[in-house]
Structure 1
Amino acid sequence: MKKFYLLLTVFLGLGIISQAQNDANAKKILDGVSAKLKTLKGVTANFSYTTRDKKNVKKGSVNGLISFKGQQYYIKQGSTEIFCNGTKTWNYNGESEVTVSDVDNDNKTLTPQKLLSNFYDKDFTYKLVSSAGAFSEIQMIPVDSKKNFKQVNVFVDKSKNMITKAHILDKSDNTIDFSLSNINTNASLPDNKFVFDAAKHPGVEVITN
């Protein structure tokens, strides 16, 4: 799931990035994405990502589901589930245990609840690569060289005004291609969807960090 946290930053947090000297056209597009996200009451989508090594050999693919509302989110990847109600996070391994921890806004782990805040302000430089066709492609370079990735290219769907694809290059020159599909931007999501219900999982060990 740590990889997914990184990937999700691409889709949800990039409209509120650096105010430094960047491509004005790219900034206008990303500001539009950010403004659109702030109007959405609830979103559900399928996600998928494929990892390839530096020789372009496919190393694996993952599919899953994501739901989010404000600072709350739910992720399902196989039998694994993550619940977050904005203050606590439950990581359920799908079998015998769930780990509960407080949301740590100072931690450098890339988590979804940080994506809709100013946590990533000044994290990237960016430029518009292309606006041909149905997508606007924006190249983003992290300012902090300690990040575990060195470049992210995001693709903004012009009709949806949302980032729906990304190509990520990590420090080892491995690549990750990430995409969202079946996006519902008008989902009705009750708050209890973002809380692990122990009563529905009898016998599961609860581990508190």
Structure 2
Amino acid sequence: MKKFYVLLMMLAGVTSLVNAQNDPNAKKILDNVSSKLKTYKGVTANFTYTTTDKKNVKRGAVAGTIQIKGNQYYIKQGNTEIFCNGKQTWNFNGESEVTVADVENDAKTLSPQKLLSDFYDKDFTYKLISSAGSYHQILLQPIDKRKNFKQVTVFVDKAKSMVTRAQVVDKSDNTVEFKLSNVNTSATLADSKFVFDAKKHPGVEVINQ
């Protein structure tokens, strides 16, 4: 599930990274992405992510849907669902149990709370790699080398001013590539969408962490 957290960074627009002292050209692009994103009341999209090993052999592909409203989000992949209201996260396996936990604050992961808030602005260095074609390509590297990934490359759609693709390279040189499609930036989303409703799932075991 931690792979989903990077997907959230794409929709969150890497909003806080623009405060660090880095490549001014990348800063300008990310500033624009951040400003535009803040005007959206709700975002929905389809996503895919594929995993490729260091020998460039494809190891798997997954598809799903995502909804975001402020620091709240909902993810569905197959029968699995993740709900987050900004304070708690419910991870429902789609069958018999749901795990409830406070929003993660693990410094080694790209948690949704980090990616949707403003307290991680010194965690990365970033640089504009290319502006050829219809995308800006920006390389981000964590300052804290204990993180479980080496680098993240985001692709900003010039027409939409939104990050719609990202590539994450982990410590084993595996690459996970995310893509968004059918993005709706004017979705109306009720807050109840981001909370697991036990009444609608009778018999499901609730596990508190």
Counterparts of residues 23-102 of structure 1 (less than 5 Å) = 23-102=23-102
Structure 2: distance between partners of 1:182 and 1:124 = 29
Q: Which residue of 2 aligns with 1:165?
A: 165
Rounded Cα–Cα distance in structure 2 between residues aligned with 1:36 and 1:120: 20
- Could you list the per-position Cα deviations for residues 142-180 of structure 1 after superposition, in whole angstroms to 9, with x for gaps in the alignment? 111111111111100011110000112111111111111
What displacement does 1:6 show? Answer: 3.1
CA distance in 1, matches of 2:42, 2:10: 18
In 2, Cα distance between equivalents of 1:112 and 1:67:
13
In 1, are the aligned partners of 2:43 and 2:68 still within 8 Å (CA)?
yes
Is this contact kept in 2: 1:66–1:74, CA < 8 A? yes
Distance 1:28 1:36, change over 3 A: same
Percentage of identical aligned residues: 69
SS at match of 1:147: coil
Q: 1:113 Cα deviation (Å)?
A: 2.9
Could you tell me whether the CA contact under 8 Å between 1:168 and 1:177 is conserved in 2? Answer: yes
Question: Does the residue aligned with 2:38 lie in a helix, a strand or coil?
Answer: helix
Matched to 1:101, the amino acid is A
Stretches (4+) displaced over 4 A? none
Contact 1:126/1:141 (<8 A) preserved = yes
TM-score by length of 1: 0.94
Q: How does 1:1-209 map to 2 (within 5 A)?
A: 1-12=1-12, 14-17=14-17, 19-104=19-104, 106-108=105-107, 109-209=109-209
**Structure 1 unmatched runs, 5+:** none
Taking the aligned partners of 2:166 and 2:96, their CA distance within structure 1 comes to: 34
Kindly provide the amino acid, as one letter, of the partner of residue 196 in structure 2.
F
Matched residues in 2 for 1:71 and 1:182: separation? Answer: 21
* Structure 2 residue matching 1:39: 3-state secondary structure: coil
Give the TM-score, by structure 2 length.
0.94
